[in-house]
Structure 1
């Protein structure tokens, strides 16, 4: 099985360097162009299944890539729920929520953001999704999701090691290709 994982196209929140989880930030013209470039690049792949998060930015990116082919919306692919930090810059979070920001810095894996979730909780969602993917017979699967979720997929593939989260980067419109064979994941390509 080949897993083609794409980070959604650029949004206004991305440009402004905002933590954007459940907030619905729209694709920019650049974000739409990133989807079109992937459409051209992946046009020779026959995707057996397509999955996206429930966010419009991921759904629209998938629609551009696949020219509107049906996709399954899976909430396990939603970006980390940033709760009270959602759609705020780091400086805004520091200013308006100094105690919560400090607690988050001190325990970025386990701290549950008020009205949101922890990175560890998001990882459990990703792990559940990946376990289900491993059971599928399909050959080529497209996933359009978010930067934080893609990092968590890498952590899952690398022996569920959450400490590796900050060792990877995922750009808007970036493509990663993973392979699952003989009950083993391998990372074939990471392109940003």
Structure 2
């Protein structure tokens, strides 16, 4: 089985360096271009299933990648980006001023401490693990999964059996990651910047 994870195209909040997960914002023209490049790279892959998060930026990216191809699409909330609570839509500088103590606590224990009113990395990882457990039961050759940077990092952690690897990888807008599952072995095959 080949799992093709694609991070959604750029949004205005990516451009501004803001934390956001629950905010539902569209992709920019740059984001559309990134999705077009991903579409070219993946044009020969015969996808039978598409999974997307509940956010419009993943749906827009998937629509551009697949063009007019009609495939079975599943919206799965487990693929939603981390909920950053009160930190949503704010950048590092703003958070260090507005929520100094909470922001410092979050930075000092990023695995277990949630952003104010949001969810912790462990909580995100838990739902991603549940998603991956279910995906590995599928009998499909090629599955397209369009989601978010934090989710893709969590998938890498799932493959490596430890959340400690979360900050050891990057996932840029439009990136394609291919995770393979063969002979009961799950591994990262490819990480491609578009």
The partner residue of 2:107 within 99, 105, 108 is: 105
- Say yes or no: does 1:154 pair with 2:153: no
| 1:124 CA displacement | 0.2
| 1:114 CA displacement | 2.5
| 1:33 CA displacement | 0.9
The partner residue of 2:136 within 131, 134, 137 is: 134
* Kept in 1: contact 2:13–2:89 (CA 8 A): yes
1:166 maps to: 167
The number of residues matched between the two structures is 191
* Kept in 1: contact 2:26–2:60 (CA 8 A): no
2:57 maps to: 57
1:80 maps to: 82
The partner residue of 1:121 within 115, 120, 123 is: 123
Greater shift in the superposed pair: 31-40 or 128-137: 31-40
Q: Could you tell me the TM-score, scaled by structure 2's length?
A: 0.96
| 1:113 CA displacement | 2.1
In 2, distance between residues paired with 1:150 and 1:35? 16
Mind listing any 5+ residue stretches in structure 2 that lack a counterpart?
A: none
In 1, distance between residues paired with 2:171 and 2:4? 13
| Residues 96-147 of structure 1: CA deviation (Å, up to 9, x unaligned) | 1111101101110000223211000000000000000010001100000001
2:93 maps to: 91
In 1, distance between residues paired with 2:188 and 2:115? 31
Mind listing any 5+ residue stretches in structure 1 that lack a counterpart?
A: none
* Kept in 1: contact 2:2–2:143 (CA 8 A): yes
Q: Could you tell me the TM-score, scaled by structure 1's length?
A: 0.97
1:67 maps to: 67
